[in-house]
Amino acid sequence: MTVATRIDRRFAAAQRARRKLLIPFITAGFPTLTDTVPLMHELVAAGADLIELGVPFSDPMADGPTIQRANERALANGVTLAKTLAMVEAFRANDADTPVVLMGYANPFEAMGWPRFAAAAQRVGVDGVLTVDLPPEEAEMPVAHLTAAALAPIFLLAPTSSPQRVAAAERLGDGFLYYVSLTGVTGAGHLDVADVGNRLTRLRQVVRLPVVVGFGVKDPASAQAIAALADGVVVGSRLIEEIEANPAALHRCVPALVAELRQAIDSLASKETQR
């Protein structure tokens, strides 16, 4: 893209401020249809830099039990891709600055049709689309529609990604690359920070885009450790767990957790400044 997007501007501002992005993930329509938009605003107020909004799908193959349950609940609530887009539109009524990335699976986008989806997503203020089960080798057509609508196609990379896949994701992608910290599903607990660091060092030698890390980030300590290595940290399953544990107080408990993560990440910058 030739024109800087909300995503580009947010990463550029963070780089100038030596700040690492905090990117919370929530599932659209979970736990209820009316919770999502207020929660998105609360996440921003608590320190979120960019929001990943999950598009519910019946077979979320990359997700662990926690986000699977959130998908099932959202689908039972009647959430569709069209309703997810309507939530983004409602969010944009009071927030024109925070980037929003839809994270989902190809089926709903294919069912709507990529041209129609891209146009609708652009109209409501979506900034990027991460399609979990769409590898770059099969993404030429969808990417053409997304980029024509000024939407960033965002690709996943994993510890097992080949140099050829990394090159394809870099060539077709925009906004940022999402590095999966482990060979497993969301919510897995075996985060190896040293391994992530080694792999990101090699990855940065061949990519120009910012790199964020997700899967396995569960608490302020792990968020801080990953923030020392990456341009941004994605936290998803832990937030969904907080919603499940405190459904009556989610609008207090979830932002409080995000504020703790923000403080941990920002304290890292303070330590580096003092060196």
Per-residue pLDDT, 257: 97
d(CA 81, CA 65): 21
Q: Which amino acid is at 132?
A: V
Are 202 and 237 in contact by the 8 Å Cβ rule? The answer is no
Q: Per-residue b/e over 194-216, b at no fewer than 16 CB within 10 Å?
A: eebeebbeebeeebebbbbbbbb
219 is catalytic: no
The Cβ of residue 44 has, within 10 Å, a number of other Cβ atoms equal to 20
Peptide bond preceding 163 in cis form (omega within 30 of 0): no
Catalytic residue from among 35, 49, 63, 231: 63
What is the domain-level CATH number for residue 137?
3.20.20.70
CA dihedral 59, 65, 68, 72 (to 10 degrees): 110
Write out the residue range of the structural domain in which residue 147 sits: 6-274
Residue 79 in domain: yes
Per-residue pLDDT, 231: 97
Are 64 and 237 in contact by the 8 Å Cβ rule? The answer is yes
Per-residue pLDDT, 219: 92
Beta bridge partners of 233: 22, 213
Under DSSP, is residue 113 helix (H, G, I), strand (E, B) or coil?
coil
Residue-by-residue pLDDT tens, the chain, 275 positions = 446 799 999 999 999 999 999 999 999 999 999 999 999 999 999 999 999 999 999 998 888 899 999 999 999 999 999 999 999 999 999 999 999 999 999 999 999 999 999 999 999 999 999 999 999 999 999 999 999 999 999 999 999 999 999 999 999 999 999 999 865 444 445 668 888 999 999 999 999 999 999 988 889 999 999 999 999 999 999 999 999 999 999 999 999 999 999 999 999 765 554 44
Q: What pTM, to 2 d.p., does this model score?
A: 0.94
Residue 17 in domain: yes
Per-residue pLDDT, 106: 96
Are 233 and 265 in contact by the 8 Å Cβ rule? The answer is yes
Residue 47 in domain: yes
Residue 25 in domain: yes
Residue 1 in domain: no
Per-residue pLDDT, 60: 86
Q: First vs last Cα of the chain: how many Å apart?
A: 37
110 is catalytic: no
Tokens of 79: 């959430």
Residue 116 in domain: yes
Residue 209 in domain: yes
Catalytic residue from among 8, 35, 52, 242: 52
- The total number of structural domains in the chain stands at 1
Residue 137 in domain: yes
